[in-house]
């Protein structure tokens, strides 16, 4: 099974990579596929352009077994809706694609485009970082009663890594170091391209 990990990745950081590795090992999946959004619907415009974010992801996972990057949403341009990507992937894979999402995103599923269609098209691995598992279960039971745990979704507790892309962008702007927050190759790229200044 492949698990698709969508997001802004503006920029990708070690928190993203550690969560992905935990899922890879915990669930023994064959591959984690990172999908950077062209433009995430519930966020303000990204600070780095799509090609820079795509390239940083490629640098970050270079030589890592079980990790890959897909440009499916960037190639489409426009706002990246998970339901459209799920539709495309389900036709390609001939099965339901599985998406990796955080507990906070899961609790907002009703705000996503066409949520009832999305939950029919896809499965979810929901990352529980702040012990929100019970809350997520109650929410899904109420909003999407047709979903079955362990079949349509699983809730997975992983390590808590307190790093955010927002913090990284702020540190760069303030001239502070981002060493140990992002892979070295990504740090070099950000510096060389003068991103987030």
7 torsion bin: left (phi>0), alpha (psi -120 to 50), beta (else): left
Largest Cα–Cα separation, the chain: 49
Report the percentage of the chain scoring pLDDT > 90.
92
Q: What pLDDT does 64 receive?
A: 96
Say which range, 156-160, 164-168, 169-173, has the weakest mean pLDDT.
Answer: 156-160
Q: What's the CATH architecture for 2-161?
A: 3-Layer(aba) Sandwich (3.40)
CA atoms within 13 A on the CB side of 11: 31
Residue 12 DSSP label: -
pLDDT for 42 beyond 90: no
Q: What pLDDT does 129 receive?
A: 77
Q: What pLDDT does 112 receive?
A: 95
Q: What pLDDT does 41 receive?
A: 87
What separation in angstroms does the CA of 125 have from each of 50, 54, 155, 157?
25, 23, 6, 10
pLDDT for 28 beyond 90: yes
Query: pLDDT (tens digit, 9 = 90+) per residue, 176-186?
Result: 999 999 999 99
Query: pLDDT (tens digit, 9 = 90+) per residue, 90-144?
Result: 999 999 999 999 999 999 999 999 999 999 999 999 999 778 899 999 999 999 9
Q: What pLDDT does 172 receive?
A: 98
Q: What pLDDT does 76 receive?
A: 93
Q: What pLDDT does 43 receive?
A: 78
Give the pLDDT mean for 5-20. 96
Q: What are the structure tokens assigned to 129, written together?
A: 């970082």
At 78, the pLDDT band (50, 70, 90 cuts) reads: very high
């Amino acid at each position: 099974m492949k698990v698709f990990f969508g997001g802004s990745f503006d920029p990708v950081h070690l928190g993203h990579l550690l969560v992905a590795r935990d899922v890879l090992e915990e669930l023994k999946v064959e591959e984690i596929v990172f999908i950077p959004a062209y433009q995430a619907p519930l966020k303000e415009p990204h600070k780095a352009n799509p090609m820079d974010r795509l390239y940083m992801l490629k640098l970050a996972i270079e030589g890592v077994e079980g990790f890959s990057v897909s440009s499916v949403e960037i190639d489409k341009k426009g706002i990246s809706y998970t339901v459209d990507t799920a539709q495309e992937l389900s036709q390609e894979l001939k099965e339901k694609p599985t998406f990796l999402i955080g507990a906070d995103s899961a609790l907002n599923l009703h705000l996503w485009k066409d949520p009832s269609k999305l939950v029919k098209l896809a499965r979810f691995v929901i990352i529980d970082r702040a012990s929100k598992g019970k809350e997520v279960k109650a929410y899904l039971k109420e909003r999407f009663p047709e979903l079955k745990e362990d079949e349509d979704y699983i809730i997975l507790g992983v390590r808590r890594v307190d790093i955010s892309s927002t913090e990284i962008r702020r540190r760069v702007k303030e001239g502070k170091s981002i060493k140990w927050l992002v892979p070295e190759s990504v740090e070099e790229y950000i510096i060389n391209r003068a991103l987030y200044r």
